[in-house]
């Protein structure tokens, strides 16, 4: 265990729950630290269920192409905690992270606080120290009571598509979940909204009206569509004809469009059209339909195979991944094998159902270190109930061995999916850590 992991383990013990949504504890700690959240660069705050990370990736790429220094806060991490904090383009160093976490631990004085709250406070300390033009701040869970929601006056708020997830914390209906996401809306601050189910959009519109916050809504105030392999974006100020996103999948056209809409709603940032074009082809976001072309795990796949990785884990995420696979199938037909590991807290059958009729076989695996992971054979049994031919193996190496024994022609297209925690294990085992 390195020093960062050691202090994180100690901080985790400060609260009996990993998730306990509240603003009181972090507000107390930030006050003790001298309110670093009031000294950070101008904030673009991003909430939603699906597409938050990809939208942030597009925002970062476009802003950096415009010559801006950009801080980024995202969660969860895939392979190491440092991925959550990017300072002006570079992942935070162990030394800087340890110093910030140490300051927070001392200021907190052993009081109860969740690990996400205290690490978010540490991130604010880091962001306040390093000059930048913009801070892209991704919500951890929900919005209204999320630890990031202490920023009083962001430049803009973004709400990506909302769907049912984390019902134990956010509510058991789409309307309740949308209300939590809409809790990031601030008085007079523009809100840019991705495509939403009707009930979710109605809740967001009501909250924006209460806050007199200007609304920019996908499908009403702007459109972003795929036409002949390019992204065509249009709003009241004109049309942009842009390259396809580097991030693969038709859903990434929508995420890129949402990022463009947000930046065009902020003319003071002066992001030129050339920066939108450059950002489309430079945006990177690991474990979102990521093609793995080399590494220790890839070497275990049958010769000539394609290996893809996506951390999607809810039904809407499954729909987007399946659509991306279908597009790949139209280009080059290959038998599809899904290697999946999932948490018991997710709608497993709702996610896996999208691969029935598309995948030749599902191989279920456990997720190392996750006590809430569904046992592999139990996940395989779930898959069989919805029409997927499925088996289970004890680990990723065993899953790849099972794929090799199928002796498929042509070589298969292997998708590893179902959990960001599993995606992190894949990247670590493959030796392809995010940079």
Q: Which positions ≥6 away from 17 have C-beta within 8 Å?
A: 114
Task: Of 124, 119, 165, give the one whose Cα is nearest residue 313.
Answer: 165
The model's pLDDT over 295-347, given as tens digits with 9 standing for 90+, comes to: 999 999 999 999 999 999 999 999 999 999 999 999 999 999 999 999 999 99
Q: Using an 8 Å Cβ cutoff, are 169 and 318 in contact?
A: no
Task: Report the relative pairing of strands 90-91 and 85-87 from DSSP bridges.
Answer: antiparallel
Query: What pTM was estimated for this model as a whole?
Result: 0.95
**Residue percentage of the chain with pLDDT more than 70:** 100
Give the N- to C-terminal CA distance of the chain in Å, as an integer: 20
Arithmetic mean of pLDDT over the chain: 96
Per-residue pLDDT at 1 exceeds 70: no
CA dist., res. 433 & res. 414, Å (int): 20
Q: Using CA of residue 261, residue 123, residue 343, residue 180, what is the dihedral sign?
A: negative
Find the mean pLDDT for residues 381-409.
97
The model's pLDDT over 58-89, given as tens digits with 9 standing for 90+, comes to: 999 999 999 999 999 999 999 999 999 999 99
CATH 3.30.390.50 correct for 3-282: no
CA dist., res. 404 & res. 402, Å (int): 5
Q: Using CA of residue 254, residue 166, residue 159, residue 60, what is the dihedral sign?
A: negative
CA dist., res. 3 & res. 195, Å (int): 42
CA dist., res. 227 & res. 249, Å (int): 14
Q: Write the DSSP assignment of 332-401 as a string of letters.
A: S---EEEEE--BTTS-HHHHHGGGTTT-SEEEE---TT-TTBPPHHHHHHHHHHTT--EEE-SSHHHHHH
Say what the pLDDT of residue 18 is.
Answer: 80
Task: Of 29, 10, 18, give the one whose Cα is nearest residue 114.
Answer: 18
Per-residue pLDDT at 56 exceeds 90: yes
Say what the pLDDT of residue 395 is.
Answer: 97
Find the mean pLDDT for residues 234-258.
96
Q: Using an 8 Å Cβ cutoff, are 398 and 370 in contact?
A: no
Task: Of 293, 304, 306, give the one whose Cα is nearest residue 432.
Answer: 293
Q: What residue spans in the chain does CATH classification 3.90.190.20 cover?
A: 290-430
CA dist., res. 280 & res. 236, Å (int): 21
What order do you get walking across the sheet with 238-243 strand by strand?
Answer: 222-227, 230-235, 238-243
CATH superfamily of 290-430: Mur ligase, C-terminal domain (3.90.190.20)
Q: What residue spans in the chain does CATH classification 3.40.1190.10 cover?
A: 3-282
CA dist., res. 271 & res. 260, Å (int): 9
The model's pLDDT over 135-172, given as tens digits with 9 standing for 90+, comes to: 999 999 999 999 999 999 999 999 999 987 777 778 88
């Amino acid at each position: 265990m390195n020093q960062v992991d050691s202090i994180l383990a100690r901080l985790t013990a400060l609260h009996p729950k990993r998730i306990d949504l509240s603003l009181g504890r972090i507000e107390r700690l930030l006050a003790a630290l001298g309110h670093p959240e009031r000294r950070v660069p101008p904030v673009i705050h991003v909430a939603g269920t699906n597409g938050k990370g990809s939208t942030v990736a597009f925002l970062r790429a476009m802003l950096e192409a415009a010559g801006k220094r950009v801080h980024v806060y995202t969660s969860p991490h895939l392979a190491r905690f440092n991925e959550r904090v990017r300072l002006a383009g570079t992942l935070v160093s162990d030394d800087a992270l340890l110093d910030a976490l140490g300051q927070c631990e001392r200021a907190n004085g052993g009081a109860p606080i969740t690990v996400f709250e205290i690490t978010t406070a540490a991130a604010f300390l880091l962001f306040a120290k390093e000059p930048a033009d913009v801070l892209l701040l991704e919500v951890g869970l929900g919005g209204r009571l999320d630890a990031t929601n202490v920023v009083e006056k962001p430049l803009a708020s973004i709400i990506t598509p909302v769907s049912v997830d984390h019902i134990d914390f956010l509510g058991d209906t789409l309307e309740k979940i949308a209300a939590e996401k809409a809790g990031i809306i601030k008085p007079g601050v523009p809100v840019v909204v991705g495509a939403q189910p009707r009930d979710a959009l109605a809740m967001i519109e009501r909250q924006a009206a209460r806050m007199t916050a200007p609304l920019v809504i996908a499908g009403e105030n702007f459109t972003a569509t795929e036409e002949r392999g390019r992204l065509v974006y249009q709003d009241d100020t004109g049309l942009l004809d842009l390259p396809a996103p580097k991030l693969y999948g038709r859903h990434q056209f929508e995420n890129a469009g949402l990022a463009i809409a947000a930046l065009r709603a902020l003319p003071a940032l002066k992001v030129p059209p050339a920066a939108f074009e450059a950002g489309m082809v430079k945006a990177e976001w690991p474990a979102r339909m990521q093609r793995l072309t080399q590494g220790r795990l890839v070497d275990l796949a049958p010769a000539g195979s394609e290996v893809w990785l996506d951390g999607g884990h809810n039904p809407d995420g499954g729909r987007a991944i399946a659509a991306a696979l279908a597009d790949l199938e139209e280009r080059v037909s290959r038998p599809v094998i899904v290697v999946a590991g999932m948490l018991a807290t997710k709608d497993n059958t709702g996610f896996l159902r999208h691969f029935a009729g598309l995948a030749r076989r599902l191989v279920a695996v456990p997720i190392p270190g996750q006590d809430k992971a569904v046992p592999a054979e139990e996940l395989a049994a779930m898959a069989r109930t919805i029409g997927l031919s499925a088996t289970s193996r004890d680990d990723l190496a065993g899953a790849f061995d099972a794929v090799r024994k199928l002796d498929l022609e042509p070589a298969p297209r292997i998708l590893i999916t179902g959990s960001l925690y599993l995606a992190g294990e894949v990247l670590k085992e493959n030796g392809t850590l995010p940079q």
